[in-house]
Amino acid sequence: MEPWRPSPRKPRDWIDPDTFLFHFPNLRYANGRRLCYLCFQVEREDHCSYDDGDWGIFESEVHPQARCHAELCFLYWFYDQYPSRDEHYHVTWWVSWSPCPTCAEKVIEFLEEYRNLELSIFTSRLYFSRHEDYQQGLRCLWNSGVQLDIMSYDDFEYCWDTFVDHKGMRFQRRHMLKDYDFLVTELEEILRCE
């Protein structure tokens, strides 16, 4: 019997401003933030340039049978929406937490199927960054050609303008970049180690 997996679902179009401001700041310690949000943009190459493509938001789900991390929700959706392995895609993720080792492994398997896909991941925070298996998952993604970086001011502003139902309210960074420098250094150290 095949293991249970959620059926592909439609991503959300918008995220609430309070949810974004709570779940996305660059923090070393992010108490109470158990959900992962993944904002994405898919661009498909069309005659040497990329189209605007799809965009949306996934969040981690809890099902009676199993948990589905936001990254896996995206992968199941992408398999359903873009069955062609021959087209060229550029996918960008802005995530509130970096991928866990299991999700990193699934993403690498996905990239092996979609060899013409470039993936960029901008993460707000590093998930269990002191655990060797989590570090190894990030290194494996990096070594598979995934661009990994910590979300910067420009990333937050882009996400605010694109994914947040802000009703005309301007983005104010306040505490979004609180531990940005620390996280950039930590990610660089993780990716440098072998």
Contact status, residue 171 vs residue 157, Cβ threshold 8 Å: yes
Q: Is 71 a catalytic residue?
A: yes
Task: State the pLDDT at residue 94.
Answer: 98
- The verdict on residue 4 lying in a domain is no
Look at strands 61-62 and 117-123 and give their pairing. unpaired
- The verdict on residue 2 lying in a domain is no
Task: State the pLDDT at residue 10.
Answer: 67
CATH (domain of 95): 3.40.140.10
- The verdict on residue 171 lying in a domain is yes
- The verdict on residue 177 lying in a domain is yes
- The verdict on residue 3 lying in a domain is no
- The verdict on residue 89 lying in a domain is yes
Tokens of 39: 């904002």
Half-sphere exposure for 28 (CA within 13 Å, toward CB): 9
Given the residues 71, 109, 113, 189, the one annotated as active site: 71
Task: State the pLDDT at residue 62.
Answer: 52
Digits of tens for pLDDT over the chain (194 positions)? Answer: 344 445 556 677 889 999 999 999 999 888 888 789 999 999 988 755 555 678 999 988 655 555 688 999 999 999 888 888 888 999 999 999 999 999 999 999 999 999 999 999 999 999 888 878 899 999 999 999 999 999 999 999 999 999 999 988 888 877 899 999 999 999 999 999 86
Q: Which domain holds residue 106?
A: 17-24+33-192
| Euclidean distance between CA atoms 105 and 49, whole angstroms | 30
| Euclidean distance between CA atoms 122 and 186, whole angstroms | 14
| Structural domain count of the chain | 1
Task: State the pLDDT at residue 3.
Answer: 40
